[in-house]
Structure formats: C-alpha cells, structure tokens
C-alpha cells in the first residue's frame, strides 16, 4: 500500500513535469493555474507558506496576461505532518504588490509559456478573388471597300465605294427586308441591317480607246431605255484593274446628265452636284420605282476591249426626315440586273450587245450576318459585251 506521503510526492512530481500546480483536496489531486507576478525578495520556505494566514482567494482578471506556473509542492516529510485536508490552494493576483502577497515557496517549477498557434487557413477558408476583365464589345465589321476578286476580265473591285471611302450603304438607310420602308424600318428596328451595294454587272466594250468606249456604252444604255436621269446621290467610285474610277454618267455643266460624257472628265458633277445630287442611268423617272445603275471604268485589257463595272439595283420612292424629304428605298438587285440584261440584249441589232454569262464576284453577304446585308444579291456579276468580240468572247489572257 502507498503511504500518503509517497502518493503526494508522486502527484507533485507529475504536476511539476506538466507545469501545472497540484493541490490535494480530500485525497483528490486538483490542478490549479497561477498567474505570473514580478519577483519578490525574501521568499518564504515551504513550511512558512503552509503556516501563513489565509488570504481571500481572487481570480486574476481576464485582461491581465497570464502565464502558466506550477505552485510549490510540500515535500513528502512536511506533508506527512499535516492533518488531512490541511493543504489549500493559493491564487495570486498579478496586479497586487509584493507586500500583499503571501509568502511563496522558495522552490519553483520552470514556467511554461504557451506560444500562439501558427495561423493556418484551410483552402476552403481562402477567399478566391478572380479578376474579371469585361469582354470587349464585339463591333461587327462590314466588307472592305478595297476588296477585289480575280475574274477572267481582270482584278475587279467587289463593291461600289461612296464619297467617304467606305462601301456604299444606300445613303445610310436601314434595310429590314423586302417591302420595308422608312415608315416601318428605322435603325433601331429589330432586324434592321446596313445595306452594302455590290458590283453585279460587267461590261466588255470593243473599242479603239477609252473615251470611245465610254461613248459607246453611254449610247447603248440610252437606247436600251437606261438614259441618264436626275436625281440621285453622286460621288461614287469603284476599283477596275489598277485604278479607282469615278462614276458614269457625268453631270455635264448643269449636272443633269443630258449630254454624253465629255472628254477628260469635264463637268463630272455640274451645278447640281454642288448640292450633292446628280444623274444615274435609270429606266424610269426618279419619282417612280425604277432600276438604276452607276458605271465605273473603263480599263483596257490590252486586247482591244475596255472593261467597265456597275452596281445595278431597283429602287422605290421613299421618304425620310420625318416624311418630308424624298429618297429612294431598296427593292432588289436581281430584278434590276435581269431587267438591264433583257433590255440591252433586245437592242442588240443597234448596239451589238450580247449576254456573256455570269462571273463570280464573291460579294454576297450571308443572311445571318447580324448587321450587314446584300439582300437578294447572289454574289454574281452579269457580263454584257458590246461589239464584235474575238471568238464571241472577250480576250481574257491579261490580268490588270
């Protein structure tokens, strides 16, 4: 059997190793933490501590920093002389002075200072900050006005170009489908698109020089019912071979297009051109639905032929500016091209016009293009020859 002194000695040794004060109350071991205080001189012996008058027990305030210390433990011999339950707990106030403290044992166990636990953040506790760059707005880009295509008649521009150097867009009027007018089609109307005006006709004119070729083509158009007529927007150009050529018909001195083309491009616009209007080749007056075209060229192919291109379309009389100003609404490319070919070939006995078939121009925009359209254009150009051509087809060996 273990004596009381041996039991207390063993428990005290364990308490000292753990850095925790051990007190025996009614034969039961109880651990008590002590608050660190400044060192005081004349510390008493173990016996003196046991005989000191009892002080009221106070707990150290939570705001005072605490460090764990083991209380003094009586030796085995001294504990044997104490009556049962005579050992008591002593709790010191860290804020009290040395004079207010009871005498403490001279022998102290080493202090145990608790280090703060290292900060540990679980992955799930980390705030994930993802930098999100707003997506740049995608702005639809229409076709390039400089785009060309290689054909049997040389390198030809795919588009009619307006006075601003961009693809002609039907003077900015939106297009909402067949039958649309300014009354039911505005720029903000769902499905409204920007019209792009393609080159859809090629003329191959047998001639000795460029000026005579222009006169010959002008005459053929007039006798076929497509004489010059005001009033249309002007200032258009197109790429034909190595050059960018201005439109025909020219305005003449008045800008009405009554006269045939003048040498050296004289009076290209005329007086009416000063306010931005001039003639176009058309098969009916401008105030009626009509098929009209503008012609560009001509450039020699080196084989006695001069190449011209044209953009042909059907238009109707529309209104803009709140219904106050007249303008032309779009109707069709295919219908106008067909009407032109039919009427010119019909006058072949006078002009020598002949249908030379179609040439791919690759300038039809897809129907699902979100912003731009070429409506019913099929991406082809009708070739019309004027004059007797070698082997009934124009010479195609030379590319511009």
Does residue 127 lie in a domain region?
Answer: no
In angstroms, the first-to-last Cα distance of the chain is 123
Burial of 161 (0-12, 13-18, 19+ CB in 10 A): buried
Contact indicator for 373, 193 with CB cutoff of 8 Å: yes
Confidence of residue 308 (pLDDT cuts 50, 70, 90): very high
Q: Residues near 181 by Cβ (< 8 Å), separated by ≥ 6?
A: 316, 318, 329
Does residue 341 lie in a domain region?
Answer: yes
- Domain shared by 288 and 388, yes or no: yes
- Domain shared by 319 and 238, yes or no: yes
DSSP assignments along 249-293, one per residue = S--TTTTS--SPPPGGGTTSSTTGGGGTEEEEEESS-TTS-EEEE
- Domain shared by 172 and 56, yes or no: no
Does residue 265 lie in a domain region?
Answer: yes
**Residue 102 pLDDT more than 50?**
no
Residue 89 structural domain: 4-113
Does residue 141 lie in a domain region?
Answer: no
Does residue 397 lie in a domain region?
Answer: no
Does residue 204 lie in a domain region?
Answer: yes
Whole-prediction pTM: 0.64
What pLDDT does 186 receive? Answer: 85
Average pLDDT value for residue range 366-377: 96
Looking only at the bridges linking them, the beta strands covering 201-206 and 380-386 are parallel
- Domain shared by 102 and 180, yes or no: no
- Render pLDDT for 61-87 as a digit per residue (tens, 0 to 9): 444 444 444 444 455 555 444 444 444
Confidence of residue 324 (pLDDT cuts 50, 70, 90): low
**Residue 52 pLDDT more than 50?**
no
> In whole angstroms, what is the distance from residue 258 CA to residue 235 CA?
18
- Domain shared by 156 and 305, yes or no: yes
> In whole angstroms, what is the distance from residue 228 CA to residue 256 CA?
8
- Domain shared by 302 and 189, yes or no: yes
- Domain shared by 57 and 162, yes or no: no
Phi, psi angles (nearest 5°) of residue 98: -65, -30
- Domain shared by 162 and 295, yes or no: yes
**Residue 8 pLDDT more than 80?**
no
CA contacts within 13 A on the Cβ side of 207: 22
- Domain shared by 67 and 19, yes or no: yes
What pLDDT does 128 receive? Answer: 53
- Domain shared by 204 and 263, yes or no: yes
The percent of residues in the chain predicted with pLDDT above 70, rounded, is 60
- Domain shared by 192 and 293, yes or no: yes
**Residue 227 pLDDT more than 70?**
yes
What pLDDT does 206 receive? Answer: 96
Looking at the structure of the chain, the number of domains it has is 2
Confidence of residue 213 (pLDDT cuts 50, 70, 90): very high
Average pLDDT value for residue range 49-68: 45
Could you tell me which residue, 392 or 303, shows the higher pLDDT? Answer: 303
Average pLDDT, the chain: 75
Does residue 248 lie in a domain region?
Answer: yes
Average pLDDT value for residue range 253-276: 86
- Domain shared by 95 and 185, yes or no: no
Does residue 27 lie in a domain region?
Answer: yes
């Amino acid at each position: 059997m273990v004596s009381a002194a041996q039991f207390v000695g063993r428990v005290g040794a364990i308490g000292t190793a753990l850095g925790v004060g051990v007190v025996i109350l009614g034969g039961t071991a109880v651990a008590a933490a002590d608050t660190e205080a400044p060192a005081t001189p004349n510390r008493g012996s173990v016996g003196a501590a046991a005989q000191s008058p009892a002080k009221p027990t106070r707990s150290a305030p939570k705001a005072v920093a605490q460090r764990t210390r083991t209380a003094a433990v009586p030796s085995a011999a001294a504990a044997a002389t104490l009556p049962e339950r005579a050992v008591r707990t002593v709790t010191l106030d860290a804020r009290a002075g040395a004079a207010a403290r009871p005498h403490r044992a001279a022998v102290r166990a080493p202090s145990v200072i608790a280090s703060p636990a290292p900060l540990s953040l679980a992955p799930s506790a980390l705030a994930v900050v993802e930098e999100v760059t707003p997506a740049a707005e995608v702005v639809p880009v229409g076709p390039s006005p400089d785009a060309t295509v290689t054909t049997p008649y040389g390198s030809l521009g795919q588009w009619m170009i307006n006075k601003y150097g961009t693809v002609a867009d039907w003077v900015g009027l939106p297009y909402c489908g067949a039958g649309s007018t300014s009354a039911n089609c505005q720029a903000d109307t769902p499905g409204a698109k920007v019209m792009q005006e393609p080159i859809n006709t090629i003329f191959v004119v047998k001639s000795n020089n460029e000026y005579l070729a222009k006169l010959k083509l002008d005459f053929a158009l007039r006798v076929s019912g497509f004489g010059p007529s005001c009033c249309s927007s002007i200032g258009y150009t197109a790429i034909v071979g190595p050059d960018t050529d201005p439109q025909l018909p020219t305005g003449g001195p008045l800008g009405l297009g009554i006269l045939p083309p003048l040498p050296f491009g004289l009076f290209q616009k005329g007086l009416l051109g000063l306010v931005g209007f001039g003639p176009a080749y058309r098969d009916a007056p401008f105030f009626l639905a009509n098929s009209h075209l503008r012609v560009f060229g001509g450039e020699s192919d080196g084989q006695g032929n001069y190449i011209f291109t044209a953009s042909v379309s059907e238009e109707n009389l529309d209104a803009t500016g709140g219904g106050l100003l007249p303008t032309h609404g779009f109707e069709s490319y295919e219908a106008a091209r067909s009407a032109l070919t039919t009427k010119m070939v019909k006058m072949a006995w006078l002009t020598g016009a002949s249908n030379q078939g179609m040439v791919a121009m690759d300038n039809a925009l897809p129907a699902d293009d979100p912003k731009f359209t070429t409506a019913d254009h099929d991406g082809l150009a009708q070739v019309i020859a004027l004059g007797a051509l070698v082997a009934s087809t124009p010479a195609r060996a030379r590319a511009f």
